[in-house]
Amino acid sequence: MTQMRTQTPGYWASDKFNISAEDIEEIYNFLISVEEPQSIESLVRVVIESRVNEEIKEMQRRLKGRTIYQPQKSYELGEEVVFPNLQFSQGKVTGIRDAENPQFGTFKAVEITFDDRNVREYAAALEIDHPLNTANGSSLTQGESFDLDELIANYTPAVKPVLAATLDENEEFICLGDQWFVQALLADINIGHLHLSEAVLEVSGGGPLPPEEMLVHMEMDKSISQAVQTFSLNYNLLKDERFDEVAPPGRVAWFLQRMEPQAVKDVPDPLVYEPMSFDRALLGLQLLQMEREIDDEWSDLASAGMVQPVRMTLTFPHRTSGTLPLSSRIKPLFPLGSSQRQLVTLIDDQSGQEIPAWVVAEGRYIYGLESWFAENNVPVGAYINLVPTGEVGRVMIGLERRRRERKEYVRLGYVEDGRLRFESKKRGIGCDYDDLMIVGTDAVAAVEVIAKQSHRKSLVALIADIMPDLGRDGAQNAVHAKTIYSAVNMLRRVPPGVVFADLVRNPAFVSVGDQYWQFEAKKWSG
Using one digit for the tens of pLDDT, what is the confidence trace for 106-141?
999 999 999 888 899 999 988 888 777 765 555 554
pLDDT mean across residues, the chain: 90
What is the predicted pLDDT for the residue at 134?
Answer: 65
Answer whether residue 66 shows pLDDT above 80.
no
CATH (residue range 278-526)? 2.40.330.10
What is the predicted pLDDT for the residue at 139?
Answer: 53
Question: Could you tell me the pLDDT band of residue 144, with boundaries at 50, 70 and 90?
Answer: very low
Q: Provide the greatest CA pair distance for the chain.
A: 113
Domain limits, the chain: 5-62+144-179, 70-135, 186-260, 278-526
Mean pLDDT of 447-451: 91
CA distance 459 to 345: 37
CATH (residue range 186-260)? 1.10.10.10
CA distance 329 to 518: 32
Does 70-135 carry CATH code 3.40.50? no
What is the predicted pLDDT for the residue at 82?
Answer: 82
Phi then psi dihedrals of residue 180, to 5 deg: -120, 145
Helices (H), 64-147: 138-141
pTM of the model as a whole: 0.78
Phi then psi dihedrals of residue 447, to 5 deg: -65, -35
Mean pLDDT of 275-301: 93
Q: How far is CA 74 from CA 71, 83, 108, in A?
A: 8, 15, 8
Top-confidence residue, 127 or 361? 361
Answer whether residue 61 shows pLDDT above 90.
no
Of the listed ranges 80-94, 159-173, 404-418, 434-448, the least confidently predicted one is 80-94
Top-confidence residue, 200 or 63? 200
Q: In b/e form, how buried is each residue of 267-280, taking b as 16+ CB within 10 angstroms? A: bbebbebeeeebee
Counting residues of the chain whose pLDDT is more than 90, the rounded percentage is 64
Answer whether residue 87 shows pLDDT above 80.
no
Top-confidence residue, 64 or 70? 70
What is the predicted pLDDT for the residue at 3?
Answer: 61
User: Do 186-260 and 70-135 have the same topology in CATH?
Assistant: no
DSSP E strands, 298-393: 310-313, 323-325, 341-348, 354-360, 365-367, 383-388
CA 230 to chain centre: 25
Residue type present at position 503: L
